[in-house]
Structure 1
Amino acid sequence: MRKHYRNIFAVLLSFVFFTVFINKNDLVDSLTAKTFYFYFISIIVFTFVILKLFAEKRELTISLNKLDVLILVYYSYNFVRLIFTEYVPINNEKFINLTLLLGYYFIFKTIFKNGDIKNNTKIILLISFLSVGFGQCLIGLFQFYNIFGFNSNYYRVIGSFSVMATYSGFVVSILPFAFGLFVLIKDKATENIILKHLGKIAFISGLFILPIIRIRGDWLAIIGGVIFILIYKYNIIRKLNLIFSSKVKKTALFVSIISLAFLIIIGLYNMRPASAFGRILMWKVAANIITDYPIFGAGFDRFGDIYNNYQADYFIEKTRDPYEIYVADNVNYAHNDFLEIFAELGIIGLFSFVLIIISAIWDTKTNNEAYENNNILAKSAKASIIGIVISSQFTFSFQILPTLLNFVFLLSIISAIDKHNKFITFSIKPAYLKIISLISAVLIFLFSLNTINSYKANINWQKAKIYSQLKMYDKAINFYSYSYNILKNNGDFLLNYGGTLSLFGRDKEAITILEKAKNLNSSNNLYVLLGNSYSAINNYENSEKAYTKAINIIPNRLYPKYMLVKMYVKNNKRDKAKNLALQIINSKAKVTSLAEKEIKKEMQELLN
């Protein structure tokens, strides 16, 4: 009977991997839909776990290895930074995700507590994990060839995501693991044959999709993961040590590898230089945040809230390269997760996170023959960890929930199989387990209420956006007001709400909401809307400041400059209006459009 319960729980647990497939049109975006699905599944999963702990009649012994402790330290530091970060509430979405993922880490680890693949519970989870990867690759191929009704509006291939970068990063988190199972499994047992061939199918399907996406950093990520598996399988390091035995030969090999890597990077850069240059700009601006907050960081989950303010300061500081001006845009992520962690959590946060990566990849020395024979899962998981880390140097893999879930799953496998050295061991008596279970039950209940209320508020937010797009502003404002108390700490929500109030002519109310949004959002659109509302109530000084801030955030945008010219004309500052109009006429927009031509035509008429 207990075996059946374990299998039922494994099936339930496997549903968490299907988070990636969730899209819901009545929520603001696909990541929000995925997050709520993840929350609802988590409520069910953790309720089962709480009931199991409450019913436990034996003493529970818990052993933590160094990787476990490092993860707990990193989580604890995030919690402390959250407490001391202004404008970020305790029920912050990112922190809730980290908390739930920490729980999943220990659940997965308990299931994979030894290296034996021959276990139904493990097989169910592994098949689900690989199937999700294959499924996403399949959807991408359907989108590319526009068959079976799969298509995307803007990017051609996005899987179940909204942009290519998040889709590609998710695929990368699975493919090296799939390759490892395909190459390393030799056992002819039925379950091993299933995993081997499923790994092969998932990996090959990924090889079809990644060249289509053309995310160069993810190509490097896959190569890194594959090389790791091949080095392990063919013992390449030992063979190279035999061939390149002298220091001169080893130095020559090292120089050759570095030179080859440099040439590959240069070649990949030249494929899409604008994209690479844009990332370099982001990293420069992120470095300025780090300079201001080197030890403890700017605050938990604050990068996107403040980045554009720093970008504005960057362009104000001195005349910048025209190409930097050309590639500037609104930025929510650093496109380098290590830099983003550094900016938000300081050197302490970055150091603790890097220790987790090193501990996960570093091999445990053992003479256990059984361990060596069942090391396939751990090695494959390490290959995917390497892939995710490489990918995260150019994108934002650790900021995307489905990819982060995969990362946690892989870490748990490594911890369960590869890290046998116990660091801390303690026991919890059944009576204390019941107390812990009751406290956890209360927390789950409160979390459930919060999730339901937040879900309803997000549905109202989406309704408000739709009504606003239809120019039914009064109805839109009603739905925004319904959601305000729940979403008042969401910068994007406040931006949308304030923008709709501004469009409806309720400018004083719009200014109140948008000024609050400035603490939680740094988009140039926010400052354009503020400029509009201040101009509408004839507060030209603040209007000019807002428009100027919008211009400095993204200097290549014409619209903020155009609106500032109109404000100058309204305020009878004709000379300033003409000077800025001349700049607009002589400038080149990032994307040529009919709007650009109309703006320049109107500016020419003003000059004439």
Structure 2
Amino acid sequence: MEKDRINKIRCGIAVVLQWTAVAVPLSLVCISHSTLPMGETVGQWGWFDKAAIVVPIGILLSLLVSSNKVALSYVSAISWVLIVQGSAEAVWGLRQLYGFTSSNHPLYALTGSFFNPGPYSGYLAMTLPVCLYQWLLCRQKRRTLRQPRQDRWSREAIVREAGYAATSLAMLLVLCVLPAGMSRSAWLAAGISCLWVYGCYAGWGNRIRGQWRLHRRRTAVIAIGMSCLLLLAGGLLFALKPDSARGRLFMWKITCNAIAGKPWEGHGTGNFAAAYGDAQETYFAAGDYEPWEERVAGSPEYAFNEYLQAAVELGVPLALCLLAVVMACLHIGIRKRRYGVCGAVLSLMVFSFSSYPLQLPVFMVTFGGLLLACVSEGSRREWLALAVLAGSVGGLRLENDLKTEHACREWMNAKVLYNAGAYESAEKDYGRLYPLLKDRASFLFEYGHALHRQQKAKDSNRILKEALRRSNDPMILNVIGKNYWQAGDYLSAEEWFIRSTHRLPGRIYPYYLLAKLYAEQEFRQPDKFEEMKRIVLTKEPKVNSTAVRQMREEIKKLRNHKQGKYE
């Protein structure tokens, strides 16, 4: 008896250490840094690196404490970690909705620990099928306790009751918050994944096959009816935010054009924005487009479709290979009847069709953990391999990520000088931080713009052209054109301003710059000036603002001042 009690204690300690080892790296979802630029993820990567170094310690201790016969369940660990963290995120969102906690974005009341309600809703949608499956398992085990022969006050019974209550509460919290995020992609991901999980648990596949063999006509009619309902639901979701839906469709269209430019080798990791900007510029320059496309066009950082973005950056063959690996892991997980983690993978795959989850560290790390859960057997050898892998990744990344995080904090201080107009002081800080932050487009733009403000046209263009390889923001083109204008190279300035009108024709500012350029004494072109003036005065802006009114007033005064000379 004493030996059994000691073994149970050792087993309990091993399970706690195991769950801790899984929870620590996944807890980066709760990491939020107000001292870093909005949307900056290096703080989460730094936390992950530190946690990854801690993971081997927890795993090795759990293996030492547990007996050789104990098989530690990685699937159970990651499932309950996601349930706990999904509940914590839901509570965080509820506090934001009721005003107890501020959000991480000034335009949205609900963001959780994220900076945007879209990824936040996607995370909740990913945890919901895990909660559902564990709830179904707990309910099934709970029903067995109603038999008279079972001891309802045994430790196993108490654990099952606690699990049932925890999963019920987790689902309730997530379902309370998820609709408030107003993310149609998350709603769709949660609905499809939860329906699939319940269907697998209830054996719908066998029932449908049986019905098809016995009543093919009735089954076909039901299938057609369900398809019509799905189409109707899709139409209602489209009508909820029509311009947003059209914007996604146009985004995917331009992304496909970018893929067609380099279908085999891709444009390179991290180069989506530049490839997209060039493709959109080429598309609008051709002139064969619909008016609504100009209205919904923007300058996205991501494709809002992970499959298309992977094809742009990696090329179609490599993107298909990665998708095949994911599908193989999912297939293995289904064969092993791990419907909870497979439902989470399915939810993330559906959400990835119209969002950008894999551009954020929390989704990348969680996705890797879920795929591992699909194929893992929980053997001691696999736990040792995971310990070595986590420790190696964390050790290799930690120093560089900590340096980058420190540089981003200093960038925030330099940004204060930049926003205050102290460009000379800001330039010194930007120059010092450049080696560590030269892969961030917004940093490069601020650096180049600070140089522009100091009339350093050549240096400014060098930095801004580097930013153009990482961004599709037309303002970069505008500032480059203004630099050439300062240097007296009017033809180059005109070329860059025209490129800006092609990249995002819905913006009035580049037409305003062209009008002023054509009114320049050394570059006077009356006909082109009149055309640009007409566009500035008559073009319907996407958003009416004070800046638009000021530009129009200035162009009117410029026209009146120069009218005699043009005639």
Q: Note the 1:21-32 alignment, pairs <5 A.
A: 21-32=30-41
Deviation, 1:155, is: 1.6
**Which amino acid counterpart does residue 482 of structure 2 have in structure 1?**
N
1:531 aligns with one of 470, 474, 481: 481
Deviations 1:543-562 (A, max 9, x none): 22222222211111112222
Deviations 1:210-230 (A, max 9, x none): 222221122111110111122
Q: Note the 1:552-563 alignment, pairs <5 A.
A: 552-563=502-513
Residue of structure 1 in register with 2:4 after alignment: none
C-alpha separation between the residues in 2 aligned to 1:459 and 1:331? 25
Deviation, 1:590, is: 0.7
**C-alpha contact 1:305 1:332 (8 A) present in aligned 2:** no
Residues 140, 493 of structure 1: alpha-carbon distance in 2 compared, 3 angstrom cutoff: same
Residue of structure 1 in register with 2:197 after alignment: 229
Residues 147, 488 of structure 1: alpha-carbon distance in 2 compared, 3 angstrom cutoff: closer
**C-alpha contact 1:143 1:152 (8 A) present in aligned 2:** no
2:423 aligns with one of 463, 466, 473: 473
1:328 aligns with one of 269, 279, 297: 297
Q: Which ranges in structure 2 are unaligned for 5 or more consecutive residues? A: 1-8, 143-155, 561-567
Residues 181, 525 of structure 1: alpha-carbon distance in 2 compared, 3 angstrom cutoff: same
Residue of structure 1 in register with 2:181 after alignment: 213
Higher relative CO (CA 8 A, sep ≥ 6), structure 1 or 2?
1
Deviations 1:510-554 (A, max 9, x none): 112112222232321211221222222222222222222222111
Q: Note the 1:133-532 alignment, pairs <5 A.
A: 133-149=86-102, 152-185=105-138, 186-188=140-142, 189=156, 190-244=158-212, 245-362=214-331, 375=337, 378-416=338-376, 447-532=397-482
State whether structure 2 residue 523 is matched by structure 1 residue 569: no
Q: How many residue pairs get matched?
A: 527
C-alpha separation between the residues in 1 aligned to 2:465 and 2:333? 53
Q: Note the 1:572-583 alignment, pairs <5 A.
A: 572-583=524-535
User: Over the residues paired in the alignment, what is the CA RMSD in angstroms?
Assistant: 3.3
Compare 400-409 and 309-318 and name the one that shifted more: 400-409
C-alpha separation between the residues in 2 aligned to 1:52 and 1:240? 48
TM-score by length of 1: 0.79
**C-alpha contact 1:502 1:510 (8 A) present in aligned 2:** yes
**C-alpha contact 2:17 2:58 (8 A) present in aligned 1:** no
**C-alpha contact 1:289 1:310 (8 A) present in aligned 2:** yes
Residues 309, 195 of structure 1: alpha-carbon distance in 2 compared, 3 angstrom cutoff: farther
C-alpha separation between the residues in 2 aligned to 1:257 and 1:298? 41
Residue of structure 2 in register with 1:80 after alignment: none
C-alpha separation between the residues in 2 aligned to 1:365 and 1:203? 22
Identity, % of aligned positions: 21
C-alpha separation between the residues in 2 aligned to 1:262 and 1:9? 45
Deviation, 1:280, is: 0.8
Deviation, 1:37, is: 3.5
Compare 12-21 and 468-477 and name the one that shifted more: 12-21
Higher Cα Rg: structure 1 or 2? 2
Deviation, 1:586, is: 1.1
Residue of structure 1 in register with 2:540 after alignment: 588
Deviations 1:307-330 (A, max 9, x none): 111111111122311111001111
Residue of structure 2 in register with 1:99 after alignment: none
C-alpha separation between the residues in 1 aligned to 2:391 and 2:322? 30
C-alpha separation between the residues in 1 aligned to 2:37 and 2:271? 21
**C-alpha contact 2:211 2:219 (8 A) present in aligned 1:** no
Q: Which ranges in structure 1 are unaligned for 5 or more consecutive residues? A: 61-109, 421-425
Residues 512, 260 of structure 1: alpha-carbon distance in 2 compared, 3 angstrom cutoff: same
C-alpha separation between the residues in 2 aligned to 1:524 and 1:48? 49
Secondary structure of 1:360's match?
Answer: helix
**C-alpha contact 2:42 2:405 (8 A) present in aligned 1:** no
Deviations 1:352-375 (A, max 9, x none): 232233223336787xxxx7xxx5
